[in-house]
Every structure is written in structure tokens, then in C-alpha cells.
């Protein structure tokens, strides 16, 4: 019976490197492509700046509200009324149906 020697099932096979003749030219190199570029308009830059500043102010507002909530300052009837009025004016809620 013929036998083939090679790596066993637990051994990692070695990669095969292609052979090249010394006189054989290498493959032609591709020309280097210029990097992609994005130009933003002044209006887009202003929008980006505004988004960053509103993000900071939102984080500050959240932190301020968290402190007011933990202090108990928001648990007052006046705050409930004011919040309800703002929600109704925003149009996000519908007024409850009355009978």
C-alpha cells in the first residue's frame, strides 16, 4: 500500500510560497489612488457646530433635571400643572375626552 506523508490531523499545514524565476518580471504595480476627500459647505459646518453645542447643553439640562428630581423640587402641584400644559401645547398628547 502506498503511503503519503504530510501533517497529521492536529498539525497546522505550512503555507506554500509561490516560486518565481529570477529573470521573471514582477506583476505591474497599480498606480496609487488619491485619498477620498469630503468638502463641507459653511452651512454644514455651522450645523455640525450647533449639534455639538446642543449636545452639551442637553447633557447639562439632563444633569440639572436629575438634581432637581433627587432633591424633591419637582414634586409640587405647580410643576405638575406646568408640565401638563407644556405637553398639551406641544401637540404630543391629546386632551382626554370628557363625558
Burial 19-31 (b: 16+ CB within 10 A, else e): eeeeeeeeeeeee
User: Are the C-beta atoms of 87 and 93 separated by less than 8 Å?
Assistant: yes
User: Are the C-beta atoms of 47 and 41 separated by less than 8 Å?
Assistant: no
Q: Which residue has the higher pLDDT, 4 or 33?
A: 33
Max Cα-Cα span within the chain: 97
3-state secondary structure of 75: coil
What is the average pLDDT across 69-89? 90
Q: Which residue has the higher pLDDT, 58 or 11?
A: 58
pLDDT at 2 (0 to 100):
66
* Stretch (H or E) spanning 71: helix 42-71
HSE-CB for 10 with a 13 A CA cutoff: 0
1 has pLDDT over 60: no
pLDDT at 38 (0 to 100):
86
Domain ranges of the chain: 42-90
47 has pLDDT over 70: yes
pTM of the model: 0.34
Amino acid at each position: 500500500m502506498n503511503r503519503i506523508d504530510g501533517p497529521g490531523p492536529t498539525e497546522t499545514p505550512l503555507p506554500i510560497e509561490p516560486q518565481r524565476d529570477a529573470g521573471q518580471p514582477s506583476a505591474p504595480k497599480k498606480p496609487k489612488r488619491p485619498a477620498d476627500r469630503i468638502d463641507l459647505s459653511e452651512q454644514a459646518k455651522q450645523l455640525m457646530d450647533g449639534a455639538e453645542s446642543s449636545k452639551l447643553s442637553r447633557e447639562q439640562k439632563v444633569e440639572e433635571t436629575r438634581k432637581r428630581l433627587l432633591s424633591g423640587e419637582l414634586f409640587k402641584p405647580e410643576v405638575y400643572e406646568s408640565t401638563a400644559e407644556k405637553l398639551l401645547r406641544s401637540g404630543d398628547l391629546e386632551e382626554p375626552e370628557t363625558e
